[in-house]
Structure 1
Amino acid sequence: MTDYKLTEERLDAVRKVEGFPRGKDKDIIALSDPPYYTACPNPWIGEFIEKHGRPFDPEEKYDCEPFAADVSEGKNDPIYNAHSYHTKVPHKAIMRYILHYTKPGDIVFDGFCGTGMTGVAAQMCGNPDAEFKEKVEREMPDVVWGARRAILCDLSPAATFIAYNYNNPVDPAAFEREAKAILAEVEKECGWMYETDHVVDGKVQVRKDVDGTTTPVKGRINYTVWSDVFVCPSCSEEIVFWEAAVDHANGKVRDEFPCPHCGATTTKRSLERAWEYVHDEALRETVRRAKQVPVLINYSVGKKRFEKVPDAADLDLLDRIEMKAIPYWYPTDELPDGYNTEQPKKSHGVTHVHQFYTKRNLWVLASFISKAFDRRLEPELFLLSSLHLHVNRMRRYQPVKPGGTPGLPGTLYISAISVELPIFDVYPRKLRDVKKAFDNRSNGNVIVNTCSGSSLPHIPDCSIDYIFTDPPFGGNLMYSELNFLWEAWLRVFTNNQSEAIVNDVQHKALPEYQALMEQCFAENYRILKPGRWMTVEFHNSQNKVWMAIQQALTRAGFVIADVRVLDKKQGTFKQVTTTSAVKQDLIISAYKPNGGLEEQFKLTAGTEEGVWDFVRQHLKHLPVAPEKDGVLQYVPERQKHLLYDRMVAFHVQRGIIVPISAPDFYFGLYQRFPERDGMYFLPDQVPRYEQKRLVADRVEQMSLFVHDEKSAIQWLRQHLTAAPKTYQEIQPAFMIESRNTDKHESLPELGDLLEQNFLKDKDGRWYVPDPNKESDLEKIREKALLKEFAAYLATSGKLKTFRTEAVRAGFKQCWSERDYATIIRTGDRLPASILQEDDVLLMYYDNARTRQGQTEHGRGTGRQVALEL
């Protein structure tokens, strides 16, 4: 019988695995529940795969197109709502991908699992609700229901703890009994902290007892509003922000307001903060903190709600609580330096974890957590983590919602007016939410692992059937900083050395982020079975981060086949308030080339035979005839120039010379593969496409925006395919379309574009040439581009405006000649933002640096050997 006890000896065996968390061994062991969850690298994953997985069989038939439908799934689901997280994909959206790419019993992997929705989705494939099942069967008639198994991994112990509880079988009735019992205990002990005298018209209401004495009528506090205090720059008197800035009649916070003492008009930005010095019991020292005062209490007597300004009795209660020592352990960890941690430090003097809570909320939370740890109740800790964001000082007051809303997503921001929500108020509601989630969840097999996705030593090569993952989005969210508070309560922290983010404090810029993502994707590539798929959900408003993700994927060995939209029906804070933000998440479908292609490519690499082997495999992996609402959708990846780009990338990422020019590739494509509506297919795919085309209401037209030379040529091609046109007919529309050309782009004149890419008939009308003549034009154009690139090499200094197509052509020629130094020198002359946002230029530049480094290392090694001899 296997021993599933996590011991210090087992910890020693995995301690050097990348991403091993920070914390004491006893705390890591206490938090874990082996074999299905460890708060460290999980040594039982290999056993899990051996028991449940199927070894890769090259003879097994697996033929699957990318899931090419746009997915829209809302968040109004008991499972989704049970626990919040910084980013989260609805499990019903993930279920569609799992159902498409896998069969029952397959193993799914997620290396950035967050709250574990991929695991929930894998299990729910065996137990869908009736409405969802009916909906999916209409859209996916060949769907095969049945639970899949999942391996979940995340660097954050907070994330893996939540993921484990989402996926671990729980008896909902027993959980509810225990949770209510703990609630009753803590209320009995601490309920007095949230009592207030019931006041009507300034008088404390009393009730007569049986013995004739009177006692004040007590109300139960629903929430308390706290306000920052500032100092007027004109008169130096203190201003309570709540009293001066909030327009209670109209329900808004004024931008400008008069000082109540001197009448001077002021703004929050112009005010100085009032500070106070207090003794911090936990730190045993005097600390400086922003001055805050309670300004409003909302409370209930029976079923009626009332409001009052805190009176002397309320202030006395707060003083009594401050004077008492909390009889339970609570975290006092100092906040690390970071992007998100600076705001609370600078604005409110919050430097340690315990300072994020009012004294009474800290006391009550410590009591709950102590009882949960004592009873080994992980579901209770899960419940407490789900309500945590509601009960700290980051909860914000909003005039339209006086009870407050959780802190700004993706920040540790403490606002000028915060709301103290008693745990007793939110606990029963979150208990209902969590119980519903436990009621709705299937009891499948999921194993959870805490380590970096860049090092997965316990997962064998070619053992995973499908990967769905939602990686960090550059510098959007600082997960280790945002999870620090809850991890302090769990006593196990993220090891952020391998955290894949853009963060100045961690000295990680975009290249470091891309390198870390590449390491993670390389591990994904290693463990995924050949010919299988990985789906990457991605959101970022910066194109350069999107390029970095694509580059990391292709450098790891994956081939991108499709990009779609996942609409989560709710914007994050940054999505809503940033006009340049992408409102919807992108879904990247990438595949690991099957072993046959890789083995054949080793034999034919650098030959035309290898080129066409790749193209055949890639066409096989592309959607054939995706349809939406009766419209046959265009598949951009089937265009000739994108097929060429993917072929080139496949060679370059493997360090191989591209053996064919663009003109010869396009002509060879025309000779070997049938073309329909500007897209190329395998011969056996054409009948299916044509059948769908016959019954479709219409065929989608590709939407084009002219921003550079390549898109200008595509626009002209589309414009002239319908009918030949004269220069005069083309020019007005082209002028309009080309108004938003990239600033750095030296776009050729319209006449030059037409001369180099199209032919003119005897009536002076330009038309799309047939492939034979088009190949000749491409050669003429390529020669002109290389001539222009040579002109760039003859100059010095930064290239501010240039013809991007010329630089791409030049980089390709340099690569074929192994002239990596010229690629690097020229790349360094380009604006950094352009290099980072152009996938072709970035591909050549990154790979040239890698090859140049290898060459220099080889020379260095040779010199060292010579010296030793």
Structure 2
Amino acid sequence: MNRRGKSAGAGDLFLEGSGQLRLIEKSAEQQALEKDKVECLGMKFDSDDARRAYFTERLSEKLADPEFRKTPGFPKGTDKDIIHMSDPPWYTACPNPFLTDFIVAYGRPYDPKERYERDPFAVDTSIGKTDALYKAHGYHTKVPHLAIVPSILHYTEPGDVVLDGFAGSGMTGVAAQWCGSAPAEYRKQIEAEWLQQGLPKPKWGARRAILNDLGPAASFIAANYTLPFDVAAFSRAAQRVLTEVEKELGWMYETLHTDGKSKGRINFTVWSEVFTCPECAGEVNFVQEALDSSTKRVHDRFPCPHCSAELTKSRLEKLYETRVDPVIGKTIKTPKRRAALINYSVGVARYEKAPTSADAAVLDQIAAMPLPPEVPTQVLPYMHMTHERARMDSAGVTHVHHFFMPRAAQSLASLWRHANAEHNQRLRSMLLFFVEQAIWGMSLLARYAPTHFSQVNQYLNGVYYIGSQIVDVSPWYILDGKAKRLGTTFSGLRNRQFFVATQTGTCAVIPIHNDSIDYIFTDPPFGENIYYADLNYLVEAWHRVLTEAEPEAIVDKAKKKDVNDYQALMRACFDEYARVLKPGRWMTVVFSNSANAVWRAIQEAMGTAGFVVADVRTLDKQQGSYRQVTSTAVKQDLVISAYKPTEALAGRFALGEALPENAWAFVTEHLGHVPVFSSVAGVADVIAERTAQVLHDRMVAFHVQRQLSVPLSTAEFLGGLNQRYPERDGMYFLPTQVAEYDRKRNTAAELRQLSLFVIDEASAIQWVRRELQDKPRSFQDLQPAFMREIQNWAKHEETVELKEILRQNCIHYDGSGPVPSQIHSYLSTNFKELRNLAKDDPALTAKAADRWYVPDPGKQGDLEKLREKNLLKEFEAYKQSKERKLKMFRTEAVRAGFKAAYDGQDYKTIVSVAAKLPENVLQEDEKLLMYYDVASMRLGDG
């Protein structure tokens, strides 16, 4: 069978059975006939249904291949259910076998001759969370699409391909499309902001995107967010579903008004757990007895309805009842719950009442009905969120259907059934996208919030929790407004096209060619912040396609995954990112976790994969701006900008050679990727990546993470840095960058130093050098401030006296000989009477005596050698120590020892001493972790 290839002007390329491409010229009449045909991956189809049928057949063939199902991260589901969720080739609820075709059809091959230069760009992740499109579907966490748009505009051109391997609900894909469909007022706003920041005008136009997520629930949301559909037809279909459910089940939500005549429609019913009084053992309906109907507040103390004893919730004992569950054929034990309050409407007026015997009879009738087949009934697997963190079994939930009370189960099943009855696949998916948003809100997880105006989706975010007061809402109460809002929201999107391809699977396996992605924006899971697979389980059970959680990058006690496992999983994902990203291109990583161990794991995973971090910023929520942070600061709410080295630089290291000129080539390329200037409100910032310490750390890491020896000592590096690169304000620049920095620096009123927390010897050295850099002073002057700074000294860290830090890192002037230039510069600038004096003038030497100062790079090298010798002596003691765990030590000595052992290829020493360190110290120190990981890999390879 011939397969049509990519369109070629007045003809089409056809792929013949022999594999040869043949160009067939077409007449004007034929071209006119095909004008309205559907284009997909370079092929033409008579309709979108024909396109879907063709690719569904191809997907079915792929699913029949046992090897395909062995792809890491392949979800748990039958072929039928996977195909039912999918809309190939644009979306597959499994690894997408058409992504390579997507790149071939729409991407641009990597061209090493193409000129590409961008500075790092910090994205504001705090904006856009009230946007209607952002709220069109809930998800556990997501970066607003309006926060991603500027970043995509900055790093890419129209038509470029953006990748997000942890796509969640697909906001990166929405942002890529928004670059071409943004309204005029938004474009004007962005252009004005960029003009004010001195940035060039953005190039508007849609970008293509590839989205991946391990969870079928997430990828399904992402696909429906990004695939175009007939909005008017959806609005009609959504209302039709609600109407059909009302015809079928409306009787379940009828109640008699208190006038004894009118019928009302129930909005929601409040259910209460039943307790026993500790005094008389009488039953206590908590809501009926403790809730104040006028204030909607729960009383802390209230009387027992039987004996009038004063009660508090903590004194009550929960009652349970047992019954046979006909679905599983076993007796189950659940908390006793009773309807306590009905909120209903008669016309437009709303009322509340206590349930009557007639209401109870209806509920009993519903409870006797068989469970509909649409409701999932599988046993709840052992998960952190349902067993470790929240004991669902104590709430009577051991199977998925136990999350739903009888009426809610019937209603959700009817909604699901009528949505699935839609014959148009695209509309069917959107109807399920619409209906699935009621699953959590109609489950036992929905708590009654009496002081809230609305009872829609009153569940706790990011956790399974069943309260003692449950709100049982009607389908129309929870979905009527949602149907109208979705129609309005999506109708506002202009020029929607099939620009996004989505797959379900692990980020560690993206089936596309090397060097094919233009930009990566990603918000991966961090440590144990959110248990995505656990939280998605409830919705995925309805789709009957479940997450394969084994490759989920997370710290999870239930699945026996610790920080080391998390780091290994993230490294595999960043390896894949590095493989598919074009050389010299950028990746933005949004990081939200206050655990330093997780931050170190992310840094190490990125570095080992080959990325180089060029900028790390944190959002200043008071200033509404980004501040750079140092490696010793507490990390949270970070935006990390990293780049993949160019082919030219990578080629220098391809043969495994560690040469000084290669190290300097890295520094030169790195300085070319680092921001030249940064300021907020007229105050300039010191750029951390341009400081000597960070540049040295990056150079060392670049070599070690590639398992190469480091060709420059610290002294050689510091000396060479000053010889090769101009210095300004303690920062280093390329010669071509200095003029720009000087010009912009003159516009700033002052220079703001980096935030610095003194918690150990390394940070104490930084602090001392900073204090003395511009103001040489005596030990007595420096000591009081030093004592204040070290109040948060780490418990495991051996205390190092200020005198020792000064002796090993600075130089003392005792008054003999000429005054050193560092001290002379400070004194002549700040004391008028000392200006224009010779360096050996008695007045000047007297004022300069007993001051410590930061040496020039040449003498700094001599001090480094002396200090390293002393540190290695201490490391030798740790190495020989018989202690199983070192309680007190100098981390700087361990770092020096690890470096020396690495240089000598003594990997066993690194691993053996690492075993003596507290786990948190090893995991939270980026340098120790780097050497340990490489040593472990080398020993493993050996």
With the length of structure 1 as denominator, give the TM-score of the two structures. Answer: 0.92
In structure 2, C-alpha distance between the alignment counterparts of 1:846 and 1:715, rounded to whole Å: 29
Corresponding position: 1:378 with 2:423: no
Q: Which runs of structure 2 are paired with 1:11-90 in the superposition (5 Å)?
A: 11-13=63-65, 14-68=68-122, 72-90=126-144
In structure 1, C-alpha distance between the alignment counterparts of 2:307 and 2:856, rounded to whole Å: 82
Paired AA for residue 643 in structure 1: L
Matching residue within 518, 523, 534 for 2:576: 523
How far 1:333 moved relative to its partner?
Answer: 1.8
Matching residue within 845, 848, 852 for 2:932: 845
Go from structure 1 to structure 2 and tell me whether the alpha carbon gap of 1:730 and 1:627 turns closer, same or farther (over 3 Å shift). Answer: same
> 1:304 maps to what in 2?
349
Corresponding position: 1:732 with 2:784: yes
Per-residue CA deviations over 1:260-288 (Å, capped at 9, x if unaligned) read 55566665456432111234343344322
Corresponding position: 1:229 with 2:274: yes
Go from structure 1 to structure 2 and tell me whether the alpha carbon gap of 1:229 and 1:712 turns closer, same or farther (over 3 Å shift). Answer: same
Per-residue CA deviations over 1:670-707 (Å, capped at 9, x if unaligned) read 11111111111111111111111011233222222211
Corresponding position: 1:808 with 2:895: yes
> 2:56 maps to what in 1?
5
How far 1:403 moved relative to its partner?
Answer: 4.3
> 2:386 maps to what in 1?
341
Matched residue SS, 2:365: helix
Paired AA for residue 248 in structure 2: E
> 1:401 maps to what in 2?
452
Contact preservation (8 Å) 1:386, 1:430: no
How far 1:794 moved relative to its partner?
Answer: 2.7
Matched residue SS, 2:128: coil
Contact preservation (8 Å) 2:591, 2:636: no
Matched residue SS, 1:723: coil
Paired AA for residue 585 in structure 1: D
Contact preservation (8 Å) 2:271, 2:340: yes
How far 1:391 moved relative to its partner?
Answer: 1.9
Corresponding position: 1:411 with 2:463: yes
> 2:203 maps to what in 1?
144
> 2:628 maps to what in 1?
none
How far 1:357 moved relative to its partner?
Answer: 1.7
In structure 2, C-alpha distance between the alignment counterparts of 1:686 and 1:197, rounded to whole Å: 80
Matching residue within 460, 468, 473 for 2:521: 468
> 2:941 maps to what in 1?
854
In structure 2, C-alpha distance between the alignment counterparts of 1:119 and 1:25, rounded to whole Å: 26
Corresponding position: 1:772 with 2:826: no
In structure 1, C-alpha distance between the alignment counterparts of 2:233 and 2:402, rounded to whole Å: 34
RMSD: 2.1
Paired AA for residue 854 in structure 2: V
Matched residue SS, 1:725: coil
How far 1:235 moved relative to its partner?
Answer: 4.3
Contact preservation (8 Å) 2:242, 2:475: no
Contact preservation (8 Å) 2:125, 2:144: no
Matched residue SS, 2:507: coil
How far 1:8 moved relative to its partner?
Answer: 3.4
How far 1:448 moved relative to its partner?
Answer: 0.6
With the length of structure 2 as denominator, give the TM-score of the two structures. Answer: 0.85
Matched residue SS, 1:419: strand
In structure 1, C-alpha distance between the alignment counterparts of 2:729 and 2:297, rounded to whole Å: 56
Corresponding position: 1:275 with 2:320: yes
Q: Which runs of structure 2 are paired with 1:383-462 in the superposition (5 Å)?
A: 383-401=434-452, 403-404=454-455, 405-442=457-494, 443-444=496-497, 445-456=499-510, 458-462=511-515
In structure 1, C-alpha distance between the alignment counterparts of 2:170 and 2:896, rounded to whole Å: 45
Range 328-337 or range 748-757, more displaced = 328-337
Range 794-803 or range 93-102, more displaced = 794-803
Corresponding position: 1:783 with 2:869: yes
Corresponding position: 1:827 with 2:914: yes
Ranges in structure 1 where 5+ consecutive residues have no aligned partner: 200-204, 207-215, 570-580, 856-869
Contact preservation (8 Å) 1:704, 1:711: yes
Go from structure 1 to structure 2 and tell me whether the alpha carbon gap of 1:253 and 1:849 turns closer, same or farther (over 3 Å shift). Answer: farther
How far 1:584 moved relative to its partner?
Answer: 5.7
Per-residue CA deviations over 1:164-184 (Å, capped at 9, x if unaligned) read 000010121111111111211
Go from structure 1 to structure 2 and tell me whether the alpha carbon gap of 1:753 and 1:258 turns closer, same or farther (over 3 Å shift). Answer: farther
Go from structure 1 to structure 2 and tell me whether the alpha carbon gap of 1:108 and 1:677 turns closer, same or farther (over 3 Å shift). Answer: same
In structure 2, C-alpha distance between the alignment counterparts of 1:346 and 1:533, rounded to whole Å: 47
Ranges in structure 2 where 5+ consecutive residues have no aligned partner: 5-42, 44-53, 623-632, 816-848
How far 1:160 moved relative to its partner?
Answer: 0.6
> 1:683 maps to what in 2?
735
> 2:726 maps to what in 1?
674
Matched residue SS, 2:338: strand
> 1:625 maps to what in 2?
677
How far 1:778 moved relative to its partner?
Answer: 1.8
Corresponding position: 1:366 with 2:413: yes
In structure 1, C-alpha distance between the alignment counterparts of 2:540 and 2:802, rounded to whole Å: 60
> 1:662 maps to what in 2?
714
In structure 2, C-alpha distance between the alignment counterparts of 1:752 and 1:848, rounded to whole Å: 31
How far 1:223 moved relative to its partner?
Answer: 1.5
Matching residue within 709, 717, 720 for 2:761: 709
Matching residue within 383, 401, 408 for 1:354: 401
> 1:485 maps to what in 2?
538
Matching residue within 158, 163, 178 for 2:237: 178
Go from structure 1 to structure 2 and tell me whether the alpha carbon gap of 1:667 and 1:247 turns closer, same or farther (over 3 Å shift). Answer: farther
Q: Which has the higher contact order (CA 8 A, sep 6+)?
A: 1
How far 1:497 moved relative to its partner?
Answer: 1.4
How far 1:346 moved relative to its partner?
Answer: 2.7
Contact preservation (8 Å) 2:124, 2:147: no
How far 1:625 moved relative to its partner?
Answer: 0.7
Contact preservation (8 Å) 1:68, 1:623: no
> 2:185 maps to what in 1?
131
Paired AA for residue 505 in structure 1: A
Corresponding position: 1:107 with 2:152: no
Range 403-412 or range 680-689, more displaced = 403-412
Range 251-260 or range 112-121, more displaced = 251-260
Paired AA for residue 460 in structure 1: H
In structure 2, C-alpha distance between the alignment counterparts of 1:725 and 1:9, rounded to whole Å: 77
Paired AA for residue 194 in structure 2: M
Q: Percent identity?
A: 51
Structure possessing the higher radius of gyration over alpha carbons: 2
Contact preservation (8 Å) 1:248, 1:399: no
Contact preservation (8 Å) 2:594, 2:636: no
Matching residue within 253, 264, 271 for 1:194: 253
> 1:318 maps to what in 2?
363
Matching residue within 604, 623, 638 for 2:690: 638
Go from structure 1 to structure 2 and tell me whether the alpha carbon gap of 1:402 and 1:243 turns closer, same or farther (over 3 Å shift). Answer: farther
Contact preservation (8 Å) 1:70, 1:565: no
Range 477-486 or range 393-402, more displaced = 393-402
Go from structure 1 to structure 2 and tell me whether the alpha carbon gap of 1:698 and 1:432 turns closer, same or farther (over 3 Å shift). Answer: farther
How far 1:81 moved relative to its partner?
Answer: 0.7
What number of residue pairs does the alignment pair up? 829
Per-residue CA deviations over 1:529-549 (Å, capped at 9, x if unaligned) read 111111111211311111111
How far 1:390 moved relative to its partner?
Answer: 2.0
In structure 2, C-alpha distance between the alignment counterparts of 1:361 and 1:344, rounded to whole Å: 22
In structure 1, C-alpha distance between the alignment counterparts of 2:89 and 2:734, rounded to whole Å: 47
> 1:864 maps to what in 2?
none
Matching residue within 255, 273, 287 for 1:242: 287
In structure 2, C-alpha distance between the alignment counterparts of 1:716 and 1:61, rounded to whole Å: 43
In structure 2, C-alpha distance between the alignment counterparts of 1:259 and 1:548, rounded to whole Å: 55
Corresponding position: 1:793 with 2:852: no
Per-residue CA deviations over 1:807-859 (Å, capped at 9, x if unaligned) read 1111000000001111111111000011111111111111111111112xxxx
In structure 2, C-alpha distance between the alignment counterparts of 1:498 and 1:411, rounded to whole Å: 21
